Amino acid sequence: MTQIKLKWNKEEFDVTIEEGSTVEVFKTQVWTLTQVPIDRQKYLGFPGGMLKDSDDLMAKVAKMKPGAKVTLMGTPEGKELKSPEEKTVFEEDLSPEEKAKILKEKKVEIPPAGIKNLGNTCYMNATLQCLHNVPDLKNALDTYQPPTAEARDIDAVLTSQLRTVNTQLTSTTESIVPMQFVMALRQRFPRFAEMQNGGYMQQDADECLRGLLTTLSTTLKGSSEASNRVDELFGYTLKSTLKCLECDEEPPQESEELSRVMLCHLGTQTEPVSHITQG
């Protein structure tokens, strides 16, 4: 009969090995103490290295001092490692669309997506980003229903493509390529298709904005039959009074004009401010 110290995780047991015991008997004894199945038991501390089922247990014990320490490695029944119910997904494995969806579900503000330059289209990109940040206009585009294919004109096509761009900008975290939109824009406004030296010419963002607002005013209906969503959001009435300061008898002339863009001229007529470095 030999006494050994069995160390398992943070626990320690006094185990008595009876004369004539086999490896199988010893492992069964340990199983009753730890609930570690026999086929999972691995031992360190016996002479000659790892304890094998074919080893002569008593021959090994004879070479050990009383109270020698033996370490058990193994997982008890019911404590096995299980695969997680939900697979762990790493950020680098997600597509830009999946990233945006998760951020939206967790109510985290999605980083603004960029727009690829398609050849001097910075004027168009700036206009798209500007309109994209008008919530009421986005809502109007989301609910826009284009006419049937037979009755669809270029204004309807351009509006539909703008709706697609807005959807893409809110459903991804990477730059988008609005190829279909720029094609529709150049078809509706041929000026933006002008070329020079083998490439598209630079254009004015203000002209692009005015053109798009004109198009949307014909396709996005307002709260009444006589109105449109563009004028409800961007329109204002400018009232002008023209009075002759040299003739009091002449009545002033009043006029009203509906506009969607408010101009802001910096400087004076003789010394205008036309560049940021001048202001």
What would the two tokens of residue 217 be?
């005013």
Task: Tell me the residue ranges of DSSP E strands in 95-213.
Answer: 195-196, 199-200
CA dist., res. 153 & res. 160, Å (int): 11
Residues 161 and 64 in one domain: no
Q: Which pLDDT value is given to residue 194?
A: 94
Task: Please indicate, yes or no, whether residues 100 and 67 belong to a single structural domain of this protein.
Answer: no
For residue 81, being part of any structural domain is answered with no
Paired tokens of 151: 């009755």
Domain for residue 242, yes or no?
no
The three state secondary structure string of 97-132 is: HHHHHHHHHCCCCCCCCCECCCCCCHHHHHHHHHHH
**Block means of pLDDT (10 residues each) for the chain, length 279 residues?**
87 88 90 88 88 88 88 81 68 72 69 87 95 93 82 88 93 88 96 92 94 94 82 90 88 89 75 67
**Amino acid at residue number 64:** M
Same domain for 126 and 193, yes or no, is yes
pLDDT for 1:
77
Task: Indicate whether 203 belongs to any domain.
Answer: yes
| Residue written as token pair 């994209």 | 132
Question: Same structural domain for residues 225 and 120?
Answer: yes
Q: Looking at the structure, tell me whether residues 113 and 224 fall in a common domain.
A: yes
- State how many domains the chain has: 2
Residues 66 and 108 reside in one and the same domain: no
- Specify if 68 maps to a domain: yes
- Written as six digits, the tokens of 247 are 């003739």
Beta bridge partners of 158: none
User: How confident is the model at residue 150, as a pLDDT?
Assistant: 56
CATH of the domain at 205: 3.90.70.10
What's the CA gap between 238 and 236, in Å, rounded?
6
- Collapsed DSSP state (helix, strand, coil) of residue 199: strand
**pLDDT score, position 9:** 87
Q: Is residue 250 part of a domain?
A: no
Query: What's the pLDDT score for residue 109?
Result: 64
Please report, as a single letter, which amino acid is at residue 236.
Y
- Here the tokens at position 4 are 């050994």
- For residues 119 and 164, membership in a common domain is answered with yes
- What is the domain-level CATH number for residue 14? 3.10.20.90
**Token pair for residue 190?**
């041929």
Considering the domain architecture, whether residues 186 and 54 belong to the same structural domain is answered as no
Whether residues 199 and 98 fall in one domain: yes
What size, in residues, is the chain?
A: 279
In the chain the first and final C-alpha atoms are separated, in Å, by 99
The CA radius of gyration of the chain, in Å to the nearest whole number, is 40
> Which residue range is the domain that position 169 belongs to?
93-234
- Say what the pLDDT of residue 276 is: 61
